[in-house]
Amino acid sequence: MRRAIIAFLFIVSTFAFAQGTWTPLQGGGCIGGRNAGCNSKNIRIPLEDRPILAVRLSAHDNIGPKAGGAVRVKIDGNIVENFDAVKREVKVYQYDVDELRGRFLIVESAEDDEIEVSQIAVLYAPREGRDGRGRDVIRRVPRDRGDGWRRYAQADACIGGNECRKNGNRITIALEDRPVLGVRFWASDEIGPKAGGVLNVRIDDTTVESYIDIKREGRRHELDVDNVEGSRLVIETGSNDEVDVKEIEVLYARGRRGGGGNYGGRELTHEGGCIGGTECGGSKSRIRIALNGRAVESIRLYAHDEVGPKAGGELRIRIDDQIVEYALDVKREGRTVTIDSKGVFGDYLYIEPATSDEVVVKDVRVKLGDYDD
């Protein structure tokens, strides 16, 4: 009977994984090593043009005589995970991503040993659709029952331990663009022979509650959150024991986060564009963002040089006439970079070509500092 219940839980969680928040990607197979069936060096899968919050995949090293397989995960030229040892048995591996954009998810063997990779998926930041210009429209208003709490039914799952390891050891939920005031869920440890289930809860890297003891019979846990802002809620096991988690809800504050391109926020954003070279407006083309005399703490952007025949794209970044980055090298495959602008004040931020080559710039985020004149 217990096996039937576990099988049912696995089917339900797999359906939620396929139909809910996570987006399954087409791709997988044996990579690395010298086995005749593992000639491929990596798996390369196209991505949507949306920020990514997490990557998950199943992998095992039960191929060939060695047991030293490791996986490396990248989004374009950005390393998400550089070296994660892969076990002999099948296991789910999940990695947080700091809202990176890219054209390809790349999974490769980090060692000279074969590994089998399957069930690859990504967690995109939420969106409602596209506007008249074809740009993403990110969901800003939480869909709740009218009391402020939003239910995430698709995230229900049994995680951790030996009997639920196929689902991984964590649940990740993409959060709305609002501060969080509370998290609640129902959890039980009535799966498997042990009774030592423990959960940790965090928002991005901020701990909400650690080492929550999960009772065998199960009960509801409600956690207060001190107006924390973040892109993802993570509920993960803190011990090697199965925990069944469901009825997950988040209480959002009514006010929106700071930022979003208005002058009163702490962050300015710009969709970017193609600049430079013969195909994108030449040397006089640039991206200009109004700062309104405020200080800039950092600038983050995604850029690639896969436009035109040349591969020598560079960007110059300045605030008014003060150069922050003289010649930022832009890779053909693309990557996300963050530039420390050291609190420079100005009226305008300029992103412009430093060479006569095209560069595509996307997802510009300008973090404003708390500096006074």
**Are 309 and 287 contacting, i.e. CB atoms less than 8 angstroms apart?**
no
Same domain, 172 and 123: no
User: 16 by DSSP, 3-state: which?
Assistant: helix
Same domain, 41 and 90: yes
Tell me: pLDDT of 314 over 80. yes
Using pLDDT thresholds of 50, 70 and 90, give the confidence band for residue 181: confident
Task: Please identify, among 257, 288, 308, the residue that sits at the C-terminal boundary of a domain.
Answer: 257
Can you give the pLDDT at residue 107?
A: 96
Using pLDDT thresholds of 50, 70 and 90, give the confidence band for residue 300: very high
DSSP 240: S
Listed range (18-27, 217-226, 297-306) with the worst mean pLDDT:
18-27
Same domain, 27 and 127: yes
Residue 340 pairs with which residues in a beta bridge? 298
Name the nearest CA neighbour of 186 among 142, 222, 152, 143.
222
Tell me: pLDDT of 17 over 50. no
Same domain, 92 and 179: no
* Range(s) of the domain holding residue 287: 267-368
Greater model confidence, 320 or 192: 320
The answer to whether residue 237 sits within a structural domain is yes
Name the nearest CA neighbour of 31 among 108, 136, 123.
108
- What percentage of the chain has pLDDT greater than the value 90? 47
The answer to whether residue 207 sits within a structural domain is yes
Same domain, 278 and 251: no
**Are 43 and 28 contacting, i.e. CB atoms less than 8 angstroms apart?**
yes
The answer to whether residue 7 sits within a structural domain is no
Distance, CA of 299 to CA of 284 (rounded, Å)? 21
Enclosing H/E stretch for 129: strand 129-130
CB atoms within 10 A of CB 151: 14
Distance, CA of 46 to CA of 218 (rounded, Å)? 41
- Torsions phi, psi of 16, nearest 5? -65, -40
Using pLDDT thresholds of 50, 70 and 90, give the confidence band for residue 279: confident
Residue 173 pairs with which residues in a beta bridge? 233
The answer to whether residue 142 sits within a structural domain is no
CATH number, domain containing residue 206: 2.60.120.260
Rg (CA), the chain: 23
Task: Please identify, among 257, 290, 321, the residue that sits at the C-terminal boundary of a domain.
Answer: 257
Q: How many folded domains does the chain comprise?
A: 3
User: 164 by DSSP, 3-state: which?
Assistant: strand
Same domain, 32 and 59: yes
Same domain, 93 and 161: no
Return the amino acid letter for 233.
Answer: L
Tell me: pLDDT of 362 over 70. yes
| DSSP symbols for 22-59 | -EE-S--EEESSS-TT----EEEEE--SS-EEEEEEEE
